[in-house]
A and B are shown apart, each in its own frame.
Chain A
């Protein structure tokens, strides 16, 4: 089976940096994705790591360590609009390369 662990909730202030950690266990790991979801909206893709290291996309960066089964999403220069749920998700190499989502981290950005 699969399991993904991430904090349920994080609070930070506008302009700050926040890191959301994710550990995973899966039998057919292919890569780690991060999705953002605002209330009532669809999951929106943020980043994907197939190899170890850091991927940077604007204010968002994502890191993966395959040997530690660990990754994180780093959000810089936080804005109020970043308040949302963030899901780490494992892409598996079976079943049509399906994506399995973690339970999500609710990020609250305060002024």
Chain B
């Protein structure tokens, strides 16, 4: 069964450093998303991406965040200068072009900022 793949599964970084979280969405999917989940809290929407551009971003997704689809398969989330409060699980999700289909989530990257 096709799946969304995220790497790395766990990343530890120092405050102020840049991190890039990688995702390989399901191959024929057209809509891509990043979500984050702080430990014990709900899953929060960060950004949606369609047709090689951002469709919508939340208030969390400030200038420190950026997304890219550098080639036909990868979808990346970059945090330019990490803060302690960026520590969370980051989930990538993708959905096909059919509107009544669910989003499939990757297993997540646990980001720990120290």
A37→B103 CA distance, assembly (Å): 14
Question: Which residues of B sit under 8 angstroms from A87, Cβ to Cβ?
Answer: 42-43
- Asked if B95 is at the interface (CB within 8 A of a chain A CB), the reply is yes
Grouping DSSP codes into helix (H, G, I), strand (E, B) and loop, the B interface class, with mixed when no group exceeds half, is strand
B60-105, CB < 8 A from A: 91, 93, 95, 99-100, 102-105
Tell me, in angstroms, the Cα distance from A44 to B106 when the chains sit together: 9
Q: Bound state CA distance, A41 and B48, in angstroms? A: 21
Contacts of A95 in B (CB 8 A): 48, 55-56
Residue from B31, B42, B44, B107 within 8 A of A97 (CB atoms): B31
Q: Tell me the minimal C-beta distance from B112 to chain A in angstroms.
A: 14
Report the interface size class on chain B.
20 to 34
Contacts of A41 in B (CB 8 A): 107
Question: Contacts of B35 on A, CB cut-off 8 Å?
Answer: 101
Q: Is A75 an interface residue (CB 8 A)?
A: no
Residue from the list A42, A48, A100, A101 in contact with B106, Cβ < 8 A? A42
State whether A99 touches B103 (Cβ < 8 A). Answer: yes
